[in-house]
Amino acid sequence: MAEVFEITDEVKAQFGVETAPWVYEVTTTSVRMYARGIGSTDPIHYDVDFAKSQGFRSIVAPLGYVGTPAFSPETNDATFGFPRRQGGARLNLPMKGLLDGGTETEYFDYICAGDTLVETSHLADVKVKGNMVFVTNESVFKNQATGQVVAKQRLTSIHLG
């Protein structure tokens, strides 16, 4: 039986190909909105003076915040919010269904309001299991001011064929 997706040399050649960079402004408002969205009442996400008293630059973004896109109607998906960028992998994946498979983030620093992050993304892995194709993209977030990598995030989506 033919696989729902074949990992050809053409597919393999797309591993590691980076998208154009995307700039994320981490604002006090977006951090507070995200914290409110997850039901957190921790003042470290809301109160700038309190966060500074604890040694942080400003309010701290909740851990899940990384990857929350800055929205522009010209460049972002209207429903999901993610940026439509130039470059990166282009795979002809089966789309009978699409599921979120997992999220993993490696942190090298906390992300605080006032930071500006520059993200690039690349295809990191593709696996086929039965009628499911597991596609993992890795995003690398750098602090624009320092050039330091502050987080790496791997997102796995499951395409159903």
Partner 1 sequence: MAEQTYYEDVKEGQELPEIKIAPDKQQLVKFAAGSGDFNPLHFDEKFPMLKAMGIPDNITHGRFKYAQVGRAVFAFAGYKGRVKRFGVSYRGMDFINQTITVKGVVTAKRQEGGENIVELDVWTENDEGKKTTPGTAVVALPSRG
When asked if residue 81 is in the footprint of partner 1 (CB under 8 A), the reply is yes
Q: How far is the CA of 93 from the CAs of 12, 21, 40, 100, 101, in angstroms?
A: 14, 24, 37, 15, 15
When asked if residue 63 is in the footprint of partner 1 (CB under 8 A), the reply is yes
When asked if residue 69 is in the footprint of partner 1 (CB under 8 A), the reply is yes
Q: How far apart are CA 67 and CA 155, in angstroms?
A: 10
Least CB distance to partner 1 at residue 121 (A)? 16
Least CB distance to partner 1 at residue 20 (A)? 19
When asked if residue 107 is in the footprint of partner 1 (CB under 8 A), the reply is yes
Provide the token pair at 59.
């309010």
Burial of residue 148, with CB atoms counted within 10 A of its CB: 0-12 exposed, 13-18 middle, 19 or more buried: exposed
When asked if residue 122 is in the footprint of partner 1 (CB under 8 A), the reply is no
Please report, as ranges, the residues that interact with partner 1 according to CB under 8 A.
30, 33-40, 42-44, 54-56, 62-65, 68-69, 71, 76, 79-82, 97, 99-107, 110, 154, 156
